[in-house]
Each structure stands twice: as C-alpha cells, then as structure tokens.
Amino acid sequence: MATRLLPGPELQCLVGAYVRPCTTDDPPQAQPIPFSEVRRTFSAMRSRGEQVYLHELLTGSEIVLDAPPPPPPPDPSLQARLEKLRARQAAKEYRSMTRNVDCRALQKRGLFGELSQEAAPFRVVLLTSVNFLISVAATFACTFLISNYLFTTPTIPLIIGIVSATLVGLAELYGLAKISAGDDGGL
C-alpha cells in the first residue's frame, strides 16, 4: 500500500515546475502524486539553498491511501477445526452449567424436597404458635369449668381461669425464649 499525496496549489506548482512550468492562468489538475516525489522536490529545493519547511510545503494537501487488499478466502481445514473447537467449548459450558444437577437427590427427597426444606422454619413457628394457643385455651377452659363446680358466683371462676391461663402462657413463653436463645436447660 503506497502513500500518495493530493497536493495543494502551492505544492502542485512546485512539483509541476520540474515537469512543466506552472502559471496562475492555467493551474494543473490535482492528481495524486507519490510521497517520494514530494521528498525529491523538497530535497532539490533545499540543495538550491531555498529556506523552505516541509509543513509549509504540505499546507492544503491531503493524504490519499490505497484501499486495503481484500482478505484471503478462509481455509476449509481451518474452518472445520474452528467448528470442532466451538462444539467442544459449547459441550464444556453445558457440562459446567449442569454439574450441580443431580437427579438421584431429586428422587430421594421427592419433587417438593427443596420446598419442604425452605418451609421447615415456617412450619416450626406455626406449630409452636398453635401449641401455645391450645395450651392457654385448654388451661382456661379446665380451670373455669372446675371452679364453676366450687363457686356459685360466675366472676370468681372467670378470674381463676384467666389467672391460670396467664400463668401457663408465661411459662410457655419462658420455655420458648430459652429454646430460641439456644439454652435448652439440659433437655
């Protein structure tokens, strides 16, 4: 790829002066010239003793580059090897994605095994809450009914039922607080 220059008016007259004289009435047509010719002109002017700088000489000029050559056609053996490598890489990625999938573990735990593991804490809280409510309600009911046989006024059995249900509720809460704190008391 050769570097050529589309000369500006000043450079065109200087380079053209070596071929034919340049007049202001008839400026020559701008044709790309090789950069080697610009170097030769610049050297010739310097050798004659003229004080000229290259950047002044190139003012108004444009660089013209040839189009790059077309890429060579692909090699069929290289294409086949690339396809084989792509297939191998895709298989490797698939294996890495499916490495942690284990069908035997699914068969052991069942279809909802993972869901049941995630729901276990909720189940514990639900059963503890239901146990607490049943204990408090049963204590109230038992003490209320038994004290109804002992006392004739209806307010005393009600007060005894509420007090006993409150005591059982506090005892249950104390046990839950100990268990949730991690101190099971040697149970």
Q: What is the pLDDT of residue 35?
A: 75
Q: What value, to the nearest 5°, has the Cα angle with vertex 106 and ends 103 and 111? A: 130
Phi and psi based region of residue 84 (left: phi greater than 0; alpha: psi -120 to 50; beta: remaining): alpha
Q: What is the pLDDT of residue 107?
A: 60
Nearest to 9 by CA among 51, 60, 52, 54: 60
Supply the DSSP string of 65-83, one letter for each residue: EPPPPPPPPPPHHHHHHHH
Q: How many other CB atoms sit within 10 Å of the CB of residue 145?
A: 11
Maximum average pLDDT range among 1-15, 18-32, 96-110: 96-110
Residue 52 phi/psi, 5° resolution?
-130, 145
pLDDT tens string 114-164:
677 777 788 888 898 999 999 999 999 999 999 998 988 889 999 999 999
pLDDT (mean) for 68-93: 92
Contacts 24+ apart (CB under 8 A), 140-144: 140/164, 140/165
57-80 burial, b for 16+ CB within 10 Å, e for fewer? bbeebeeeeeeeeeeeeeeeeeee
The domain ranges of the chain are 3-65, 74-111, 112-181
**Position 5 confidence tier, pLDDT thresholds 50, 70, 90:** low
**Position 165 confidence tier, pLDDT thresholds 50, 70, 90:** very high
